[in-house]
Amino acid sequence: MPNLGGGAKCAACEKTVYHAEEVQCNGRSFHKTCFICMGCRKGLDSTTVAAHESEIYCKSCYGKKYGPKGYGYGQGAGALSSDPPRYAGLQPQETKPRPASSNSSENKSSQKFGCSDRCPRCSKAVYAAEKVMGAGKPWHKTCFRCALCAKSLDSTTVTDKEGELYCKVCYAKHFGPKGFGLGNAAMLG
């Protein structure tokens, strides 16, 4: 079929992209409406896109899929092990959804919109569009901050201890090695 006065083909839907609706990334063209994260389906722009080969992601999903893993990257030391979790005499919890109490309007709206997660910082419902995972829990983007200095965190700067989030600087100051020659102590010549 001839390309009659049209533009390039959209890398997502393979339909013609006209100049007025074109977004380019890594030499490929997209419709503005097709320029979305392959993980969470959020709309992207030049400041939020992270490309991996022929795939495009928001920075959060890219970090989760291709970023560093292990201790100090929001997943804790358990991420280094491939062993299944052990239950110290406890039975694993069932994964069946529990019915929410029917007297709360917030519970009704969170059920209606498919949200059952609660932010550990503010205890409010966390919806998919605003969810950031850290320390194995869902957080609001605005609550995803260091517990000590309140600095905003991301997947490359977060460190967790006992379910709380810290930036790497505060974590090192409060939980890192202490003693002569470490931390803020002056070195004597």
Over residues 148-164, the mean pLDDT reads 89
Phi, psi of 142 (to 5 degrees): -75, -20
DSSP per position, 122-145: T--B--GGGEEEETTEEEEGGG-B
Instruction: Give residue-wise pLDDT tens across range 54-101.
Output: 888 888 888 888 777 655 554 444 444 344 444 444 444 444 444 444
Domain extent listing, the chain = 22-66, 131-175
Architecture of domain 22-66 in this structure: Ribbon (2.10)
Looking at the chain, the whole-number percentage of residues with pLDDT higher than 90 is: 15
Give pLDDT tens digits for 1-34: 455 666 789 988 999 988 888 888 888 888 889 9
Superfamily of domain 131-175: Cysteine Rich Protein (2.10.110.10)
- Residue predicted with more confidence, 139 or 53: 139
The verdict on pTM exceeding 0.85 is no
Q: CA–CA separation, 4 vs 59, rounded Å? A: 36
Q: In CATH terms, are 22-66 and 131-175 the same topology?
A: yes
